[in-house]
Amino acid sequence: MSSENIAETKIIILHLVSDTPGITYHMLMEKCMESLLTDFFTFSQCYNELIAGNMLEKISENDGTGSTTADSSEDLLFITEGGKAVLDDIKGALDQRTVSFLSSAASSLQKQLSERNSHRASVRVEAGFYYADLTFNDKAGQIFSASVRCEDKDKAKDICSTWKKDASRIVDSFNELFGK
């Protein structure tokens, strides 16, 4: 792999994370691979170097108990101030094909991220009880919210996992049940 290919891959990664803050590793990897400018190994090397160089930041979602649930299965990525400074310095050097790809990719990723964030699930502990807190949002805001008290942490985690897999159908069924 050439140093030019590595530099271009790093620029693409920084640009995509800058345009879609909160993107997941897998979303980023898939979009970079679609560019046909990089392979998995080059992507991995560049990604790790950007993290180590404090140009990207990984933040874990928290489910309220310190455990992983459907919401916290992946780290979210954000560009740091250092990453922004580097990106601002090199943006002008991008060729038109790369700029076109980045614009299209950012639009696609923003839609994916919006869909991913449309439903949330987390476990909350209050007064010795476990709750599965569930929400569903559309473009106008929150359209469904529920807290389910559970007998234990495992049950709350199971409810959260089910919600993440099938929230849209569950909300539709709820609306049908109440004639909405």
pLDDT digits (tens, 9 = 90+) for 63-114: 444 544 444 557 788 999 999 999 888 877 777 888 888 888 888 888 888 7
Does residue 87 contact residue 14 with C-beta atoms inside 8 Å? yes
List, in sequence order, every residue forming a beta bridge with 141; answer none if it has no partner: 138
Residue entry with tokens 């502990």? 125
| pTM value > 0.75 | no
